[in-house]
Amino acid sequence: MARGPRYRVMFRRRREKRTDYRMRKAMIVSKTTRLVVRGSLNHMQVQVAEALPTGDRVLASAFSKNLASFGWRAPSGNLPAAYLTGYLLGKKAKAAGLEKVILDLGLASTTVGSRVFAALKGAMDANLLIPHDEAVLPPNDRVGGEHIAGYAKKLQETDPTTYERRFSQYISKDLRPEELPKHFAQVKEKIAEAFKEEK
């Protein structure tokens, strides 16, 4: 660690790579509501939050585990689950009267077509206004799980043992991975219907 009379130790959350304080200050000064997207290996969390000097105030929130209440049986950490979590959050935010937000990725690295941008696409498809570059969004076939279904079908034909092992989470919940795009469409429709009824 550096030493000397002019060395200044970074704030703890910055050292832990949890908060970019310069960016946070800019967001507080702008007074813009943020779409906060955070992911782990198995789950996605999407929130709409307002930055205040004392901390964040969450205005709407959706967690990938919430998708189970709409019939989602696939794992909740993949690209389609990220999209549906963003879509659910977008519907909740619209129901709460929110219209426009900006994307907050925190300290996460950005990869074109990643789960973070799938969640962004879901929130936009729920009619939230979010400034973005179209080039970063994943294509519709990947969002719907076509790539997973295609890989599963190919693997089942060439190596059934590996197929059973790699897709055991799907099979244990009585969902064939080849049927993921159809399942995805059904769950998305249920989310849309649920918020249509609330109106």
Please write the tens of the pLDDT for every residue from 94-140.
999 999 999 988 777 789 999 999 999 999 999 999 999 999 999 99
Q: For residue 1, what pLDDT is reported?
A: 55
- Residues in CB range of 116: below 8 A, 6 or more apart: 37, 39, 82, 105, 108, 110
Q: What is the DSSP letter of 41?
A: S
Contact by Cβ (8 Å): 99, 129: yes
Read off the amino acid at residue 16: E
Q: How many residues does the chain have?
A: 199
Question: Measured between alpha carbons, how far is 96 from 149 in angstroms, rounded to an integer?
Answer: 35
Model confidence at 2, pLDDT cuts 50, 70, 90, reads low
In degrees and rounded to multiples of 5, residue 48 shows phi and psi of -105, 120
The DSSP element (H or E) to which 37 belongs, if any, is strand 34-39
Write out pLDDT tens, residues 38-50.
Answer: 999 999 999 999 9
